Amino acid sequence: MSESHPAIGIDLGTTFSAVARLDETGRPTTLANVEGDKTTPSVLFFDGDEVIVGKEAVKAMGDEMPCVADCVKRELGQRIYPKELASRQYPPAVLQAWVLHKLGQDARAQVGQFHKVVVTVPAYFDEAHRKATQDAGYMAGFDVMDIINEPTAAAVAFGYQQGYITAKEGVTQSQTILVYDLGGGTFDVTVMEIGDREFRALATDGDVHLGGQDWDRRLVDFVAEEFITRFGADPRQHPNSLGRLWRESEDAKRTLSARSKANILCEHGGHSLRVEVTRGQFEELTRDLLDRTVFTTRETLNAAGLGWSDLDRVLLVGGSTRMPAIGEMLKDLSGSEPDRTVSPDEAVAHGAALHAGVLLARHAGRSPSFKIANVNSHSLGVAATDRKTGRPRTATVIPRNTRLPVTAKRVFHTQKENQKSILVQIVEGENASPDACSQVGRCSIRSLPPELAARTPVEVCFRYLENGRLTVYVAIEGIDKRVKHELLRENSLSQEALDSWRKYISGLSPMITSEIQ
Ligand code: AMP
C-alpha cells in the first residue's frame, strides 16, 4: 500500500453505507462518520440550498418527508429520481454522488486527502446501474479505480479473516461458499470458490428490488390497515405520517430480530394507535418475500452445477440477514448453521478496501496479494431480426455466468443492398424479445462503404470487463479496420453534465443550470 494513497473501499448501500480503509498492517478497518457511527444512512434531506446526508436526514423523514430522498439506489439507471426535492428534480446518480461526497468528507477527516476508491455494487446490477454508480463516484470527486460486486467483496473479507489472503498456516484447501446477501434494498446470491489467493465466482443471481425495505413495507401496511379499521383514515396518504410510521416499523423489525414481539406507534390526523406485532405474525406477513430469496438461491446453485452438499458454508451478509427466519431457512436447506463470522454491515466495505489495496499495489508495480475472477449476472446481446418471421429477437453474444473478462463475437448481416448505416442496439437480459430486456445503449455505424451487397457480414464484438463495463467493436467484411464504438447509453449523463455536477457537489461552482439535469 502506498503512503500517499490510502486503500479505501466504499459500500454504497440502499439504506446504509460504510467506508473502510486498510491500516498500516494491511488490515481492513471501518471508518466511523463524523457522527461517530460505522454506517451512514443513505438518505438525503434538501434543507433549502443545503443537502444533508445521513442520520439528520432520517430525522427529517418525520416532518419534512417531501424534501427527503431515500432508497435512491433502487432508481439508478432511471433518468430522474421520481420525487421532486425542494422544487427540483435530480438524476438518481447525482443523489448518490451527494451520499458518496459525505462519506468521502467524513473519511478524509480521519485519513487525510484521497481520491482513489473502490465502490461496491450488487452482483445483480446491470450495465446501466454500474455506469450510474461509476458516474456518481466521479461526480462526488473520486477516481473510482474499480467497481466490485458486494457478495464478492464480502467473500474477500471473509477470506482475509480466514487466512486465505495472508496464507496463514493450515489454510490450504479451497472452499466453495454461497454468499447470501440481503441488504436494505437488494438481494444477491453468489456461489464462490475461494482458495489459493483467488476468489472465483461460479454463478450469481439476485433481485435489485428486494430487500429490508420490503419487509418494512409489510409492517407499514399491516399497521395502516389496522389504523383504517379503527379511524377510517389512511396514514400512508400523508408523507410525514408515512415517514414516521416507516421509521417506527423499521425499528420494530429490528426489535423482532431479538425479541418475540414489538410495538408500532402510528400517529395521523390527530389520532394515535399502538399496534403489537409478534415475530410469528411478522414472519407470516413476509413469507412470500423469504420464498423469493429461496427460489433465487436454488436457481443459482443449479447454475453453478452444485447441490447443497457441495457447499462448505453459507455466508450471511447484509443487515437483513439478522432476521432469524433467514438463518433458520438456510439451515433447513443446507443442513448446517450458516456462517455469521463477518460483520453483516462492514464486510462489504472491508472487502472493497482489500481490493483497493490490490489495485494500488498493482499500480505501484508490486504483485497483488489475491485475485478476483467474476462472472456476468445478465446475458448481453443485441436486438436482431429473425429472418424467418421478420420479428425482433434477442441475439445473445455473452451468456450470463460467463467468466470475465471476456471477448465474444457474433456475426450479423446487413439487410439490404447499398445499406448506408447499421444500428446496433445492445440489450441485457434473458428474454427472447429485446423489448423486454434492459436497453444498454446503441451504437450506429454510418460510414459504410458504397454499394455494399445485401447480407454483408457485420461482426459485432463485445469486450466485457470484470467491473461489468462494456466496449463494443464492429468490423465489416471487406473493410480491414475494426472500429471501437462509443455506446450511447440510455438515461446516462453527458461528460459535460458530469463535470458540472462534480464541481457543484464539491462546492467549486455555486450553481447548476437546469439544462444539466
Ligand atoms: P445493509 O444494506 O446491509 O446495510 O442492510 C440494511 C438493512 O438491514 C435495512 O433494511 C435494515 O432495516 C436491516 N437491518 C439492520 N439490522 C437489522 C436487524 N437487527 N433485524 C432486521 N433487519 C435489520
pLDDT tens column, 459-496:
889 998 887 778 888 888 776 556 676 566 666 788 99
Give the C-alpha separation, 256 to 212, whole Å. 13
* Nearest alpha carbon, ligand 1 atom 20: 254
Residue ranges matching CATH 3.90.640.10 in the chain:
212-285
CATH topology of domain 380-485: Substrate Binding Domain Of DNAk; Chain A, domain 1 (2.60.34)
Summarize the confidence of residues 421-433 as an average pLDDT.
91
pLDDT (0 to 100) of residue 386: 84
pLDDT (0 to 100) of residue 440: 85
Task: Indicate the pLDDT class of residue 231, thresholds 50, 70 and 90.
Answer: very high
The HSE-up count of residue 135 (CA atoms within 13 Å, CB side) is 26
CA of 483 to the centre of ligand 1 (A): 47
Within 6 Å (CB) of ligand 1, which residues are found? 13-16, 183-184, 212-213, 250, 253-254, 257, 318-320, 322-323, 344-345
pLDDT (0 to 100) of residue 486: 59
Phi-psi region of 120 (alpha: psi -120 to 50; beta: other; left: phi over 0): beta
In Å, what is the CA distance from 324 to each residue of 73, 255, 337?
A: 26, 11, 12
CA 300 to the chain's CA centroid: 18
Cβ neighbours of residue 241 closer than 8 Å, sequence gap 6 or more: 235, 266, 267, 268, 269
Q: 370, 358 in Cβ contact below 8 A? A: yes
Class for the domain spanning 8-169+343-374+499-505:
alpha beta
Give the C-alpha separation, 319 to 184, whole Å. 7
Tens-place pLDDT, residues 234-277 = 999 999 999 999 999 999 999 999 999 999 999 999 999 999 99
| Ligand 1 atom with least separation from CA of 39 | 4
Q: Given a cut of 80, is residue 172 above it in pLDDT? A: no
pLDDT > 70 in the chain, percent: 94
* Burial class of 153 by CB neighbour count within 10 A (0 to 12, 13 to 18, 19+): buried
Residue ranges matching CATH 3.30.420.40 in the chain:
8-169+343-374+499-505
Q: 128, 438 in Cβ contact below 8 A? A: yes
Helix 127-139 with 495-505: angle, nearest 10 deg: 40
In a mutational test of the pocket of ligand 1, which residue from 10, 11, 14, 15 has the highest number of ligand atoms less than 8 Å from its CB?
A: 15
Tens-place pLDDT, residues 267-290 = 999 999 999 999 999 999 999 999
Q: What is the CATH number of domain 212-285?
A: 3.90.640.10
* Nearest alpha carbon, ligand 1 atom 1: 183
Give the C-alpha separation, 516 to 505, whole Å. 13
For the record, the C-alpha cell of 469 comes out as 463495463
